[in-house]
Amino acid sequence: MNHYKAEVWDKIQKNVELFHDHCLHGVIRFDDLLDVEALRKAVLKTSTLIPIIKCRFVSNRKNAQWEEMNKCTINDLFSIVETQLSGLEEEKQIESMMTHKIDETTGPQLSVKLLRNNNRNDTLCINLNHMICDGAGFKQYLYLLCSQYNLAITGKKETKDYAFLQQRSDHQVYSDLTFKDYWKFLTNPFYLEKQSPAIRIPFSPDSQEIHPHILSSTIPGKQLEHLIAYTERNHCTMNDLFMAAMYRTIHQELPITATVPILLSCPIDLRRYIKDKQHIGLCNLTSSVWCNIGVDLGKDLTETTQKVRDKMERIKKGYPGLKNFYFLNALMRLHSYAAFEKRIKQNFPNPLIGITNTGILESKDLSFKDVRIKSAFINGSIKYPPYFQIAFSTYEKELTISINQYCTDKDLPKIETLLSSYRSQLESLMPG
């Protein structure tokens, strides 16, 4: 029976399970029907190239690791659901498939479900355990799945060596850094702060039953072009704009009376420090910083965006994200798994409100031969109250804004209002 090392972020994702379901979610909608047999072969092949998919997470007081399952067949990884539903009812079925929880202690760590609607078109729902990889890694997985599907359709043999996918250590981040780089990030702040409990989404009391929801809203190509042009004129990034719109949404929608700053958690992809970006293993390489622009947000979205831009530019000069990742690794090496687990649960500063941008799904890589993709998006974990996160994903010049949230039926309209209000912030920049 094979065993694989559990890396530092594998363990952290396990130990923040009180905050979210630690799953990555993806939805791909097609105009036509996929070849089911080719898809089955592709899913099974990916689990061979990434053997950790067919493992379960095992731990004791001393250590934690990935252990190969006694048996894992294609039926454990893949299933087909046939439906004749449409409209809202079909969306509810997709949401139900998307919110399926993965149990890392039994495995497997992947769930691929195909929803076939009245034999006319398909929707692919993919869940991958966040302990396996982050958003960038999830895109890697989807591109691999497409590649294997296309090979199965054409009957061609694989010529690429995918052994690098199993290189999951964080050493690939630090191997290209110089002594000067180390000195710079070690002497800079962590950029992690504790959010005031006054700044939070007003969820219902814990005693009420909660259900998982995935809410989404799309910004079409023309409007997205306006947003991109806006960031270029204002010399800022899309992430700066996304954070600024979140600041203003919170300030507008939440009953905040305390004169304390709103802190937003912003993920930092540590792959930016790796020179060979073509051979990065499938793993978690995302750290984070917390952005604090003070109490005064400015008079409008443009002023808020400028404040975020200036703050993030200062942060980016100090190799952000590396310091906390480095010290978490040191903590893991110095302590037993039980002690590490205890420290993470007690001291890990999980943000009450955050954003995450999984970036662009490249159409040249996300391609299932001749079956046209109508739309696609990916996002992260489904948050438990009082935690909240808004996510962004782009495919074919269409931006999907989504919120994954466990909440009561009473709270659901609040989350819908937050999503609508956030979209309105971005639309305020549109001409006319």
User: In this predicted model, what pLDDT tens digit does every residue of 345-355 receive, in sequence order?
Assistant: 777 777 889 99
Report the pLDDT value the prediction gives residue 33, as an integer from 0 to 100: 97
**pLDDT score recorded for residue 432:** 66
Q: Which two tokens stand for residue 237?
A: 């990034």
- Detail the DSSP E strand segments found in 49-194: 55-59, 64-68, 78-83, 110-117, 121-129
* Structure confidence at residue 2 as a pLDDT band (50, 70, 90): very high
d(CA 426, CA 276): 35
What's the pLDDT at 241? Answer: 97
Say if residue 269's pLDDT is above 70. yes
What CATH number belongs to 3-427?
3.30.559.30
Q: What is the mean pLDDT of residues 273-290?
A: 91
Residue 116 has pLDDT above 90, yes or no: yes
**Band of residue 135 on the pLDDT scale cut at 50, 70, 90:** very high
Q: Distance between the two ends of the chain, CA-based, in angstroms?
A: 63
pLDDT band at 395 (very low <50, low <70, confident <90, very high): very high
Q: What is the pLDDT of residue 414?
A: 94
Mean pLDDT of 47-52: 97
- What is the pTM for the complete model shown? 0.95
Nearest to 116 by CA among 92, 143, 94: 94
Q: What is the mean pLDDT of residues 213-227?
A: 96
Predicted pLDDT of residue 330? 84
Q: Which of 26-40, 170-184, 357-371, 399-413 has the lowest mean pLDDT?
A: 170-184
The confidence band for 258, taking pLDDT boundaries of 50, 70 and 90, is: low
Domain boundaries, the chain: 3-427
The arithmetic mean of pLDDT across residues 389-411, rounded, is: 96
Q: What is the reported pLDDT for 417?
A: 96
Portion of the chain with pLDDT greater than 70, in percent: 98
For the chain, percent of residues with pLDDT exceeding 90 = 71
Please give the pLDDT value at position 82.
94
Q: What is the chain's mean pLDDT, rounded?
A: 92
315-319: list long-range contacts, CB under 8 Å, 24+ apart: 315/191, 315/289, 315/291, 318/184, 318/185, 318/188, 318/189, 319/181, 319/184, 319/185, 319/188, 319/273
Q: Is the predicted pLDDT of residue 189 greater than 70, yes or no?
A: yes
